[in-house]
Amino acid sequence: MENFSEWFHNVLEEAEILDSRYPIKGMSVWLPKGFKLRKYITEELRKLLDEEHDETLFPLLVPENELAKEGIHVKGFEEEVYWVTHGGSKELNEKLAIRPTSETAIYPMFALWIRSHIDLPIKLYQVVNTFRYETKHTRPLIRVREITTFAEAHTVHVTKEEAEEQVKTGIKIYSELFDKLAIPYIVSKRPSWDKFPGADYTMAFDTFFPDGKTLQIGTVHNLGQTFAKTFDIKYETTESTHELPYQTCYGLSDRVIASVIATHGDEKGLVLPAIVAPVQVTIIPIIFKDGQEEVLSKVEEIEKLIKDNGFRVNVDNRDIRPGKKFYEAELNGTPLRIEIGPRDLKENKIVLTRRDTLEKINVSLEDDLIDIINDLFEDMTKTMKNKAWKRLNGNVISVETLLESKKTIENGQIASIKWCGEDSCGEDIEEETGLDILGTQEKTSGKCIYCGKDAKYNALIAKTY
């Protein structure tokens, strides 16, 4: 991809995912095809979360005094909050914030709900729109003012250990989702100056975009007791004392959808994992005068077979050239295209084309088509996943000096360094390079790449979105 930014912009428009001509910058319209992609991705997430969370829905607006309660938290968001000040022509008694995230909407309710240790743990989530008054350059799905798909989970626990465990569970759930979507990721612990405002620590998922930048696509926060203290959330123990519980929260956004598009797409358009493709199989009848009836009846038979087996299938029987149909199926990222024509039928076969490799597969009408489709979908996701992981892994380069790390990043790669872990040193590194320390991974020994003190962690430096 020559110019990723341009490609991304074009594919959203041409594949009819989003219309970003909406008259407010940073807010877009989900078009029917895009909406379906978003729906299927969200459904996969819900399946994973529903196993141990309850879905709920909290109001969009937050009273100013609730938002202001947690000082560190509000400081992190204050320049990004949209404020509602009027109802009709009347000025409101109290300003209302449009949620930038929902801690301050949810935790006052936790204080009402939690009385005793038997009320815990609480594990809930909601999928909502949130808002950030972005002053930077916006980009659809990546840096927006209305995050249309913000899936945020919030949990409350009796012990610190349970909260730690829940952080691991959050990481596991998101890993499973990204695996299903064939999106590769790096998990790291954000440096302290980059953690979620108010959290004890933040674990983050970053993926690697074709332009050499990383994109944060999910975060899991251990909130400790900070918010419990602020919002006066307490539970009664078996010994009748009152204690502060431990909290976690974790979230994903539209960026997951951006990553599915950016990771797998090619110069022909979208390439989608079958699990989330709006149309999984498109059947294209090849019509000549001869054998037309036979073709159409076979098309109908095969459509029914595929549909009855639970796949999303369509038949493209528009009166346009097959070439245009192939073009559109490729643009839309439809995983499998089936051509059915009179010559193939005479040879007792149909032709499948897989979107990822564009490889053509002749399938005999005697074979079990459903088995073949299932195998192909599995193989395609595996192939897409391997390719994407290979690209990510091949671009994480261990370096020994700051100069090397700058070169690595200029080269569109990610640098892995040894780091002392000190805030002041890290901030110096970021200032000197103009790059971001993504976070720390496993512990290490040796010397810090910058200050020369004993290294504590391997850390990653990248150019980030």
* Binding piece for a copy of itself, criterion CB under 8 A, among 51-59, 192-200, 257-265, 385-393: 51-59
Residue with tokens 């839309």, as numbered in its chain: 332
Q: Would you count residue 57 as binding a copy of itself (CB under 8 A)?
A: yes
Contacts of residue 93, defined as CB under 8 A and 6 or more positions apart, other chains included, come to none
CB of 430 to a copy of itself, least distance (A): 24
Binding span for a copy of itself by CB under 8 A among 50-58, 364-372, 409-417, 421-429: 50-58
Cross-strand bridge partners of residue 98:
61
Regarding 118 and contact with a copy of itself (CB under 8 A), the answer is: no
Q: How far is the CB of 55 from a copy of itself (least distance, A)?
A: 5
State the residue for tokens 């639970």: 310
- Considering the rule CB under 8 A, would residue 287 count as an interface residue with a copy of itself? no
- Going from the C-alpha of 428 to that of each of 46, 120, 329, the distances in angstroms are 41, 43, 50
389 binds a copy of itself (CB under 8 A): no
**What tokens appear for 299 in the block?**
């098309």
* DSSP per position, 287-327: --STTHHHHHHHHHHHHHHHHHTT--EEE---SS-HHHHHH
| Shortest separation between residue 29's beta carbon and a copy of itself, angstroms | 5
Binding mask 64-83 for a copy of itself (x = CB under 8 A): --x-----------xxxxxx
Among 51, 72, 87, 358, binds a copy of itself (CB under 8 A): 87
Contact call for residue 133 and a copy of itself (CB under 8 A):
yes
Among 4, 9, 13, 27, binds a copy of itself (CB under 8 A): 27
Joined together, the tokens standing for residue 425 give 């040193």
Q: Which of 52, 59, 360, 452 binds a copy of itself (CB under 8 A)?
A: 59
CA 432 to CA 277: how far, in whole Å? 43
118 CB burial (10 A radius; 0-12, 13-18, 19+): exposed
CB of 68 to a copy of itself, least distance (A): 13
- 456 part of the interface to a copy of itself, by CB under 8 A: no
Task: Work out whether 406 is an interface residue with a copy of itself (CB under 8 A).
Answer: no
In angstroms, give the least distance from the CB of 30 to a copy of itself: 4
Q: Which two tokens stand for residue 407?
A: 């070169």
Residue choice 7, 8, 30, 377 for contact with a copy of itself (CB under 8 A): 30
How many CB atoms sit inside 10 A of residue 1's CB?
A: 13
From 330, 335, 327, 314, select the one nearest 382 (Cα to Cα): 335
CB 38 within 8 Å of CB 150? no
Q: What are phi and psi of 218, to 5 degrees?
A: -175, 145
88 makes contact with a copy of itself (CB under 8 A): yes
Question: By CB neighbour count within 10 A (0-12 exposed, 13-18 middle, 19+ buried), where does 112 fall?
Answer: exposed
Residue 318 C-beta: closest distance to a copy of itself, Å: 12
Amino acid making up residue 206 = D
Indicate which single residue of 9, 13, 42, 58 sits in contact with a copy of itself (rule: CB under 8 A).
Answer: 58
**Site string (137-176) toward a copy of itself, x via CB under 8 A:** ---------x-x----------------------------
Name 405's Cβ contacts closer than 8 Å, sequence gap at least 6: 399, 415, 417, 433, 435, 449, 461
* Backbone torsions φ then ψ of 328, nearest 5 degrees: -70, -40
- Note whether 223 and 238 are within 8 A (CB): no
Size of the site for a copy of itself (CB under 8 A): 51
Residue among 6, 14, 55, 432 that touches a copy of itself (CB under 8 A) = 55
Binding site for a copy of itself (CB under 8 A): 19, 21-24, 27-32, 35-36, 38-39, 54-61, 63, 66, 78-90, 96, 98, 105, 108-109, 112-113, 124, 129, 131, 133, 146, 148
